[in-house]
Structure 1
Amino acid sequence: MKISLITATYNSEKYLRDTFDSVLRQDYHDIEYIVVDGLSTDSTIDIIKEYELLFNGKMKWVSESDQGLYDALNKGFKMASGDVVGILNSDDFFTSPNVLSRIIENFINSDCDAVYADIHFVDPDDVKKAVRYYSSSIFRRPLMRIGFIPAHPTFYVYKHFFEKYGYYKTDYKIAADFELLLRFIYVNKIKTKYIPLDCVTMRMGGMSTESMDSRKIIMKEHLRAFKENGIRTNRFILSLRYPYKIGELIKARIKNKNK
């Protein structure tokens, strides 16, 4: 079973080698790695060309103007020829070498349409310092009503569902991933399976992990996503998820102190 992995880049030179190295270390080899660059002006393209040789024909890449992250990911999914597709952000990396093999194993041994797992967030300059652990184990479809979704970077799905239900909506600034998962899982009820595995190490500082302004945009776009998908909700209902997020931060701090 072939897996297509998509990474979108734009001036990503600082951490891109970590991302690429983690893909090269994977013990599952039937992969297609697609890198979609948005006309980077730093050394990103040089790094891509350097690693293209190391991937021995398994990397495809393009560098052209785009409308942002979600447009770039859509391009990657449309380029993909694999049975299963997923993403790896350009400043993140796989936590262990068996991530992709575990993902494919679960597709082969079950009738699921998609899988998801866990992630943890780290200090951008000290990847050994955990800031937050996000376990998707709590996820159940009804919890989407209060804004819970599986960890998006661990979401792998059969490609044909993008062709059937559509791609990311590029007019969302931050929460197009939330809207897509809501559309796939809650509205169209694809079969999902949880894998108890820490799949991805994410550096804090991405679009959806930082400022108060970002949180305001996220709330606004979450409300919009529910409305566009015909699901009733409100700000109070969506705020019910925040105590759980605070608990994740506390657990990470306790874990760091005990090291």
Structure 2
Amino acid sequence: MNFTSPEISVLMPFYNAEKYLKSAIESVLSQSYRSFELILINDSSIDSSIDIVQEFIQKDKRIKLTSNINKKGIVGALNTGIEIATGKYIARMDGDDISLENRFEIQYEYLEKNKNIGACFSFIKFIDSNDKFISDYEFDNVTSDYSSILKNLPINNYLAHPTVMIRSDILKKYSYTYSAQGFEDYVLWLRLLNDKIRIEKINKILLLYRIHDKSSTSMLQSDKNWRYLLYKPKFIFFVGCLKSFTLTKFSFRVFIYGVYDYLAYINILMKKYIKKTLQLFFK
């Protein structure tokens, strides 16, 4: 097999991921589909993550390591990986999740057979820090195919970022938006749909998504009102459409939902302010 021309480039950015990084890498290297390169992007880790990676590099030539001298965040790390990716397809993977062994094979064959599809996702299961099953993802069925994705994604980001496999030429053209840090995937999916790039979901569980105290999902949802913070990526997306003269019915739908989220969030903040003021007044 010619590993100098892999079919898939796997992007795995990491920062201080020593606790789960080994199992994440092993799940990639154990894939039934073998023609891939694993691009590990170290975003200035200060723990033993690099040592873990170096052990794997000694054993498998498919692994590439690049390090950011200064911390760039998830967007900068991903865009660094995109620049050096050589595969026909790009798959995402986080340093704390686990890909099931047939994930790449299923997604690769799906995209090969469906040339009109730009990117595909999969269902997930949530696991905890000890690899124990927590639950299925209740919203997977909300975006189970292109029509339901097109309908429901303007409301919320129901797609699990680490499950995506996307055509490399598309991702290299669009990349991730720096101003959308924390919501970078959501803005990207909206941009693709706005440009009529078809997104589908394979209705099989192909990834175990880890929830722990330092995961981005846990930190975001620690704010009980996180749902309404989605006005930020929606406005970023809409402003981008304005600047690029790509306004469509879809982009206006996203904007309307963004206005709703914003007003709901302001209402929540006002209630908190009034409550605090009254407490101080009657103290």
So what's the TM-score if we normalise by structure 2? Answer: 0.76
The alignment's C-alpha RMSD in Å is 2.2
The answer to whether the aligner puts 1:173 opposite 2:181 as a matched pair is: yes
- Asked if structure 1 preserves the Cα contact closer than 8 Å seen for 2:37 and 2:87, the reply is yes
| Alignment deviations for residues 18-40 of structure 1 (CA, whole Å, 9 cap, x no partner) | 10110111010100100000121
- Asked if structure 2 preserves the Cα contact closer than 8 Å seen for 1:86 and 1:155, the reply is yes
Aligned to 2:205: 198
- The SS at the match of 2:94 is coil
Aligned to 2:108: 104
Task: List runs of 5+ in structure 2 lacking aligned partners.
Answer: 1-5, 242-246, 263-283
Aligned to 1:158: 167
- Asked if structure 2 preserves the Cα contact closer than 8 Å seen for 1:174 and 1:218, the reply is no
The answer to whether the aligner puts 1:3 opposite 2:26 as a matched pair is: no
Q: Which moved more, 1:108-117 or 1:38-47?
A: 108-117
- Runs of 4 or more consecutive aligned structure 1 residues displaced over 3 Å after TM superposition: 234-239
Which structure is richer in relative contact order (CA contacts within 8 A, separation 6 or more)?
1
Q: 1:236 to 1:220 in 2, by over 3 A?
A: closer
- The SS at the match of 2:256 is coil
Q: Which moved more, 1:21-30 or 1:131-140?
A: 131-140
Aligned-pair identity (%) = 25
Distance (Å, rounded) in 2 between the aligned partners of 1:195 and 1:4: 19
| Residue among 216, 227, 233 paired with 2:256 | 233
Q: Which moved more, 1:215-224 or 1:26-35?
A: 215-224
- Asked if structure 2 preserves the Cα contact closer than 8 Å seen for 1:145 and 1:238, the reply is no
| Alignment deviations for residues 186-229 of structure 1 (CA, whole Å, 9 cap, x no partner) | 21111233212111111114223431178168424233234223
So what's the TM-score if we normalise by structure 1? Answer: 0.82
**AA matched with 2:92:** I
| Alignment deviations for residues 2-28 of structure 1 (CA, whole Å, 9 cap, x no partner) | 000000011110000110110111010
- The SS at the match of 1:227 is helix
Q: 1:63 to 1:217 in 2, by over 3 A?
A: farther
- Give the number of equivalent residue pairs: 234
Instruction: Kindly name which structure, 1 or 2, has the bigger radius of gyration based on alpha carbons.
Output: 2
- Asked if structure 2 preserves the Cα contact closer than 8 Å seen for 1:122 and 1:132, the reply is no
Alpha-carbon distance, 1:235 to partner: 5.0
Distance (Å, rounded) in 2 between the aligned partners of 1:238 and 1:221: 9
- The SS at the match of 1:46 is helix
Distance (Å, rounded) in 2 between the aligned partners of 1:226 and 1:4: 26
Higher helix share: 2
Alpha-carbon distance, 1:172 to partner: 2.3
The answer to whether the aligner puts 1:207 opposite 2:216 as a matched pair is: yes
Once the two structures are superposed, the pairs formed by residues 89-128 of structure 1 within 5 Å of their partners are: 89-94=94-99, 96-111=100-115, 112-125=117-130, 127-128=131-132
Alpha-carbon distance, 1:129 to partner: 2.5
The answer to whether the aligner puts 1:85 opposite 2:90 as a matched pair is: yes
- Asked if structure 2 preserves the Cα contact closer than 8 Å seen for 1:146 and 1:237, the reply is no
- The SS at the match of 1:116 is strand
Q: 1:214 to 1:6 in 2, by over 3 A?
A: farther
Distance (Å, rounded) in 1 between the aligned partners of 2:188 and 2:154: 14
| Residue among 140, 152, 157 paired with 1:143 | 152
- Asked if structure 2 preserves the Cα contact closer than 8 Å seen for 1:122 and 1:128, the reply is yes
